């Protein structure tokens, strides 16, 4: 679908320069010890299996804006930036460059999100297969579309709905918000380690 859009744009505007901006590009400054998975090296070397991260265009903009708001040079700041929404992630940005980020090879890794589980034990796949005859595709779909805030609460993936329900005593909504906040706090600490210091949490 993306390639079709590019081709249509090139056809409609052949005189214009066309540029692709990849959401993963900002994270290409991460050191290897943050992007490599602890799996046999051949999967990285032959197939590029590694952590790539996402939301890069947002992080680049927010890092620059943080410098402007703080009246500091963004290329001299240690920032932990949380991109919180239905798709959520967090990054360590040191001197304008990504040092680590919570999203990985796919957008499933990391924080609890609206309908995505975030970090899980990878053996969940075999456990669900052996005990509930779930296929890889079924488990992947469940982790991407039926989990996160929605799965924990059994109610919604929208924090506004969950906050209102929690005030009314809805146990699932309360748990979902607590898990989300706790996992986010853990990642804030981890990203501070990646920066080596912390000038601002954005």
8 Å CB contact between 194 and 92: yes
Q: Which of 114, 119, 196 is nearest to 162 (CA)?
A: 114
Q: Which residues of 104-117 are buried (b: 16+ CB within 10 A; e: fewer)?
A: beebbbbbbbbbbb
Which of 23, 119, 158, 199 is the catalytic position? 23
Residue 198: CB atoms within 10 Å: 16
User: Tokens representing 35?
Assistant: 């992007």
Give the sheet arrangement for strand 200-201, strand by strand: 97-101, 89-94, 78-83, 200-201
Q: How far apart are CA 101 and CA 35, in angstroms?
A: 9
73 assigned to active site: no
8 Å CB contact between 90 and 185: no
Catalytic residue set: 23
């Amino acid at each position: 679908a993306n390639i079709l859009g590019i081709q249509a744009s090139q056809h409609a505007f052949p005189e214009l320069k066309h540029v692709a901006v990849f959401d993963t590009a900002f994270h290409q400054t991460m050191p290897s010890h943050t992007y490599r998975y602890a799996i046999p090296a051949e999967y990285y070397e032959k197939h590029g299996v590694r952590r790539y991260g996402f939301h890069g265009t947002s992080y680049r903009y927010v890092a620059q804006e943080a410098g402007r708001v703080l009246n500091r040079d963004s290329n001299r700041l240690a920032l932990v930036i949380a991109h919180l929404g239905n798709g959520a992630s967090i990054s360590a940005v040191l001197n304008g460059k990504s040092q680590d980020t919570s999203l990985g090879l796919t957008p499933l890794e990391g924080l609890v999100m609206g309908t995505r589980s975030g970090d899980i034990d990878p053996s969940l796949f075999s456990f669900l297969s052996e005990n509930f005859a779930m296929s890889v595709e079924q488990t992947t779909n469940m982790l991407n579309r039926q989990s996160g805030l929605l799965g924990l609460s059994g109610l919604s993936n929208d924090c506004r709905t969950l906050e209102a329900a929690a005030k009314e005593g809805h146990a699932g909504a309360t748990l979902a918000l607590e898990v989300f906040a706790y996992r986010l706090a853990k990642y804030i600490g981890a990203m501070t380690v990646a920066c080596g210091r912390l000038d601002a949490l954005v």
